[in-house]
Structure 1
Amino acid sequence: MKNKLRVISALLCAVLIFADIGSFSASALSFVPTAVDADGERRDIKLYSECVYMVNMDSGDVIVDINGEKEVPPASLTKLMTAVVLLDELGGDESTLKNRMMSAGTEAFDELYDTGAATADIQPNESVSAYDLLAALLIPSACEAANIIAINVGGNVPAFVDMMNEKSAELGLKHTHFSNAHGLFTQQNFSTAKDISTICRYALNKYPVFRELVGSPSFTMAPTDYHPRGTYIVSTDYMINEFTDYYYTNWPGIKTGTTEAAGRCFASYATFDGMTYMAVTMGAPMEKLPEDIKKGEEDPDSMYADDVVYYNFIDHINLYEWAFDTLVQKDFINEFSEVRDVKVGYGKKARLCKPQTRLRIQPYVACEYPHR
């Protein structure tokens, strides 16, 4: 009975906090992102992605969940699991990764010809360190790097894909299945925004080298016989590049993914004022929307004037601006404070519950709108 009352009391406190927010739902910590418009009206923020999943990385609370468990093609977000399997097998020690050399013949390249796949210009039989392959995989999203890793770590691509799916099961990913190491093809290759978030948190928490590389706007791979001056590679994540319209100062980055079938996908995290959020979006439009063509004509200096508009980046900027500007995390009940005396009656085990029993309310962490 005490345990039941403890839960009920915590839930009642939560309802009081969220009652005036206007977006209270079955998941008390899942919000509809809103902003105040020019007329002073609070309206939903426009999000372009089909699937949106955002969490508070400090508390684990789900902040936004829109189709978060819908199975969709992950495009190059697949490479996040490729990186995880590589790191699990070799460890995250930078020196070990730099001393382990890998190469592959045409079997790593044949399926990529004439597909428009992203590459780091690695050549058949070129010997490259595991560290540089990981950088090529995560920074410019090189597909040949994914296959070279798969062949060297798994023995062949199918065996490596089995390792990817075994890791998915280990992480408890119920809506994810991989059929290749790069995400270029969609046959039996699917995941969800929620599952991708789990993969990202695992890699970020366990491997500092992963965190370092996904936050690198550019990188120079070590010299090889094929590239005696090394290979300069640039991140597909424009939000960590200060020379783009999408640059965001609180942004450590993670990974993009784009195919016609998947749309524009993106996994990221951002930190500001001691708070960290992660967002995964999937299925943003590939083509510029008609209304944005007009915006570009009206403002030639805006991002909408470019031939390509990256709606995945726009979604993440809007999500983080909203979260950092609107949500405040507070402990509003002390774990050890005695809140009040509660009379307990008519319990099935009333003999165990004395009248005037003092209850200790468990701590509850919530996000609320600050007084503005």
Structure 2
Amino acid sequence: MRKIFIFLLTFILFISLISHNTKAKSSPPKVSADGVVLMDATTGDILYSKNKDSKYPPASTTKIMTALLALENCKLDDVVTVGKKPPFADGSKICILKDEKLTVKDLLYGLLLQSANDCAEALAEHISGSTEEFAKLMNKRAAELGCKNTNFVNPHGLYDDNHRTSALDLALILKELTKYPEYKEISTTSMYYIEPTAKSKEKRPLWNKNKLIQKNSKYYYEGCEGGKTGYTIQSKHSYVAIASRNGQRLIAILLHDSERTYWSDVRKLFDYGFDNFTLESFYLEGDSLGDYTLNENTKIPLLCAENFYYVKGNTSTEVPQFKINNKDLNKESFKRGDNILTAAVTYNNEAIGTLKIASGVNYSPKSFLMPLGNNYDDKFLNILKISGYVVSVLLAIVFILRIRKKIRDRKRRKNRKENTLYMYNSKTRSK
């Protein structure tokens, strides 16, 4: 009896432990930052958020926008001549000097690895002429990316009452920045040296402050592709990071953290995202989407114009659905590969995006040829070849007939000539 009781107790504890672990995996972790977003970098889907639209001072996480604009407007080997203001920037810096010549690449390493405010100002002046004009460019680009709660007044994030952004807006900016492979290369470099210049005879060592990419750190996170810290007394602690696993890439944003737990919190956010969600392909570029009927005699084969991905919860059994937005194409002309339609995509009864649809054939209202089968180009070429053969045969027949006609005409002329000569001779003899 005692053995049975021990067995049952052990079994109950085991089941409870499994249940606890399952619940822990499916529940978002608790994080101390006031503004939080966990986003899929491919689709932009929000996997978890807290106060995602609230405005906070972002401190040095501002520098991801400065880095984005530098990569969009400069080449890495462009040479920057440092102005008189950047060397006097407050806060963190690498002590660049007036009239010193540095490459954009060097300044980006200083910006992202050492969070150097002097590098931020040097890049801003190089791109826009002044930090004030650069702030206007920052806000313009932020609006283009869909940021609705952002106002930048400087390129580095030193505290200003009017310098604000939200966790969602920073995620949108980082999502765009991750499209540049140069960002990943810079942000995952543990140590970088700026070579001596005419103004500085010593190498400048730059050590990456992002603990998630340092393999000797207890916070090291495999798959981390970059991150940026930020801190001022008023802004508190902030941190943004990106990580990938099994083809899926996640963005984590933590703003206004008074407890400074962002190193461990971001790891928990990434684990939650990767453990509970996967990136799935709905349709890939070139996939067949069926036919679109123009009229009783005309059907247009449809192709997916670009890859479409969606984020699937690991416990979900649903699949996306799409509905084509009808459009009258009868009077339009288009070529194979031209985008002609769109479709609304829903998943779990929620809209998740728009599918772009291309034509699988050439079409014009006056003439339309739709090859059969999946390989439309090959079919079309085969038809052209067959048509060529038919035309060649017809031309050959016409040519032969013309030759035969010429031969017959020549014989007729010869016979007429012979008959004329015979009649002439006959008349001559009779005389």
- Return the TM-score normalized by structure 1: 0.68
Residue 369 (structure 1) aligned with residue 315 (structure 2): yes
Match of 1:222 among 195, 199, 210: 195
Gaps of 5+ in 1: 1-34, 91-95, 287-309, 339-361
What does residue 317 of structure 1 align with?
Answer: 267
Q: Secondary structure at the match of 1:136?
A: helix
Gaps of 5+ in 2: 1-16, 291-307, 318-431
1:222 offset after TM fit, Å?
A: 2.2
Residue 110 (structure 1) aligned with residue 88 (structure 2): yes
What does residue 342 of structure 2 align with?
Answer: none
> What CA deviation, in whole Å up to 9, does each residue of 1:298-334 have, x standing for no partner?
xxxxxxxxxxxx411111100112222233455799x
Residue 175 (structure 1) aligned with residue 175 (structure 2): no
Match of 2:234 among 247, 254, 261: 261
Match of 2:168 among 182, 187, 194: 194
Distance in 1 between residues matched to 2:182 and 2:266, nearest whole Å: 24
1:108 offset after TM fit, Å?
A: 2.0
What does residue 243 of structure 1 align with?
Answer: 216
1:234 offset after TM fit, Å?
A: 1.0
Q: Secondary structure at the match of 1:164?
A: helix
Structure 1 counterpart of 2:112, one-letter code: L
Structure 1 counterpart of 2:170, one-letter code: I
Cα separation, partners in 2 of 1:58 and 1:99, compared to 1, 3 Å? closer
Matches within 5 A, 1:104-143: 104-105=83-84, 107-112=85-90, 117-143=91-117
Distance in 2 between residues matched to 1:138 and 1:76, nearest whole Å: 9
Match of 1:50 among 11, 20, 34: 34
| Maintained 8 Å contact 1:332/1:365 | no
Q: Higher RCO, 1 or 2 (CA under 8 Å, sep at least 6)?
A: 1
Structure 2 counterpart of 1:163, one-letter code: L
Cα separation, partners in 2 of 1:49 and 1:123, compared to 1, 3 Å? same
Distance in 1 between residues matched to 2:131 and 2:203, nearest whole Å: 27
Aligned length: 280
Cα separation, partners in 2 of 1:37 and 1:214, compared to 1, 3 Å? farther
| Maintained 8 Å contact 1:75/1:262 | yes
Residue 69 (structure 1) aligned with residue 47 (structure 2): no
Cα separation, partners in 2 of 1:101 and 1:364, compared to 1, 3 Å? closer
1:368 offset after TM fit, Å?
A: 2.8
Distance in 1 between residues matched to 2:229 and 2:311, nearest whole Å: 31
| Maintained 8 Å contact 1:54/1:280 | yes
What does residue 4 of structure 2 align with?
Answer: none
Cα separation, partners in 2 of 1:276 and 1:223, compared to 1, 3 Å? same
| Maintained 8 Å contact 2:82/2:99 | yes
- Return the TM-score normalized by structure 2: 0.59
Distance in 2 between residues matched to 1:245 and 1:67, nearest whole Å: 29
| Maintained 8 Å contact 1:118/1:140 | yes
| Maintained 8 Å contact 1:102/1:149 | no
Structure 1 counterpart of 2:271, one-letter code: E
Distance in 2 between residues matched to 1:332 and 1:236, nearest whole Å: 39
Distance in 2 between residues matched to 1:53 and 1:44, nearest whole Å: 11
Runs of 4+ more than 6 Å apart: 35-40, 335-338
Distance in 2 between residues matched to 1:275 and 1:363, nearest whole Å: 11
Distance in 2 between residues matched to 1:166 and 1:223, nearest whole Å: 36
1:125 offset after TM fit, Å?
A: 3.1
Distance in 2 between residues matched to 1:365 and 1:201, nearest whole Å: 16
Q: Secondary structure at the match of 1:178?
A: coil
1:40 offset after TM fit, Å?
A: 7.3
Cα separation, partners in 2 of 1:59 and 1:99, compared to 1, 3 Å? closer
Looking at secondary structure, tell me which structure has more strand per residue. Answer: 2
1:37 offset after TM fit, Å?
A: 8.5
What does residue 133 of structure 2 align with?
Answer: 159
Identity %: 25
Match of 1:97 among 73, 76, 84: 76
When Rg is computed on C-alpha atoms for both structures, the one with the higher figure is 2
Q: Secondary structure at the match of 2:240?
A: strand
Matches within 5 A, 1:258-337: 258-286=231-259, 310-329=260-279
Q: Secondary structure at the match of 2:77?
A: helix
Distance in 2 between residues matched to 1:328 and 1:84, nearest whole Å: 27
> What CA deviation, in whole Å up to 9, does each residue of 1:99-139 have, x standing for no partner?
4232121x224351xxxx11123233322111111111111
| Maintained 8 Å contact 1:151/1:160 | yes
